[in-house]
Structure 1
Amino acid sequence: MTQVRMDIETIVVGGGPVASMVVLRPRNPRLTDGNLQLPIQIGLAEASAISMGMDDSTNHRPFTHDLLKNVVSELGSTISSVGIDRVEGATFFAHVTLIRSDGEHINVDARPSDAIALAVRTKAPIFVNSDVLETAAYPDFTTVRKDEEERELKEFHDFVETLSPEDFLIGNNGESQKS
């Protein structure tokens, strides 16, 4: 199982009929088949928790993910990484890797949204199993659109390079004089 390091591309904090989601992107697109995005639908509260963690917001009292981070720290452990291991239908499965003070590594089952909320608070890396990317990732359509625009611009440039002044000469009958 190959693990791919991911970064958070964006958070959509939905409301009403719009679902909340977190979109992950491979840190190094060369390790995957091009530019991919991994959208994961999450709850509104979890989207807010991730967003607040990314903003390094400080609150008067700790929220749930802040509390868990503090408990892990007080017990002498650290959160070394989080991973998204598999996907079944639209459900993603993740874990949080803790390192205890004696060096033992412990993997704790977690929802991806909770794992990511902890990762942003502890600066822990986020990894996704390459099988999950193959199953659930989408192309980055912004990049696809940019590539298409560049291709069209090159085709137009190549066309302009083939033109000569004679292509623009028009005779008295309104037709091109080029034979």
Structure 2
Amino acid sequence: MSLRKMDIKSVVVGGGPIASIIVLEPQDALHKSSLRLPIRIGHIEAMAISLGVDQTPQGRPLTHDLMRSLLDALNADLKSVRITGVSGTTFFAQLEIISDEGKHHYIDARPSDAVALAVRTGSPIYADEMVLETAAAPDFADVEKDVKKQEIADFHEFVESLNPEDFS
């Protein structure tokens, strides 16, 4: 399994008929691309991720805060979150947890729950290359910038190729 480190680009908390999504993007500059990985999630999970990103204190612990507290109490660490698969519009994830004895545990999770826990623990998020190949979408703003750059380069080349005789 080849993994790429991801950043959270945005979290959209939808409501009613509007779906909630989280958008991940590759982090490493070496593989910088205009790819984005949009994952549809539930409204409650989107809110939980947003609260974790913003570090908004709550009066009582939410489920993901409870999970973080359990890890702390057991002296375990969330080493990483991995988006490991996709089937249709359903994504699959794993929590990589290291026990206090150093044993690695891989626990299946929904990507939304995994990401909500990752933002609370400061753990990295990875996506399998195969998931990116299957489900990633281009960032159309970057695509538009590339098209404009090419148009300017083409126009510059055209102007440079002009001769005074072309105007007679």
Q: Does the TM-score normalized on the shorter chain lie above 0.5?
A: yes
Task: Specify the alignment match of 1:139 in structure 2.
Answer: 138
SS of the counterpart of 2:58?
Answer: coil
**In structure 1, what is the Cα distance between the partners aligned to 2:39 and 2:30?**
22
Query: Aligned Cα RMSD in Å?
Result: 1.7
Q: In the aligned structure 2, how far is the partner of 1:134 from the partner of 1:38?
A: 10
Secondary structure of 1:39's partner? strand
**Alignment match, 1:18:** 18
CA distance in 2, matches of 1:151, 1:140: 17
SS of the residue corresponding to residue 31 of structure 1 reads coil
Question: What does residue range 77-116 of structure 1 map to in structure 2 within 5 Å?
Answer: 77-116=76-115
Structure 1 residue 93, shift from structure 2 partner:
0.8
Rg (Cα) greater in structure: 1
Counterpart of 2:154 in structure 1 is: 155
Return the offset for 1:160. 3.1
Using the alignment, how far apart are the partners of 2:71 and 2:38 within structure 1? 28
Which residue matches 1:5? 5
Partner-residue secondary structure (3-state), 1:149:
helix
Q: Structure 1: how far apart are the matches of 2:138 and 2:21? A: 16
CA positional deviation for 1:35: 2.4
What is the CA deviation profile of residues 50-102 of structure 1, one whole-angstrom value per residue up to 9, with x for unaligned ones?
A: 11111111112111111111111111111111101111111111111111111
Q: Which residue of 1 aligns with 2:39?
A: 40
Is there any run of 5+ residues in structure 1 with no aligned partner, and where? Answer: 168-175
- Structure 1 residue identity aligned to 2:28: N
- Segments of structure 2 that go 5 or more residues without pairing to the other structure are none
Q: Taking structure 1 as the reference length, what is the TM-score of the superposition? A: 0.87
For 1:120, the aligned partner's letter is V
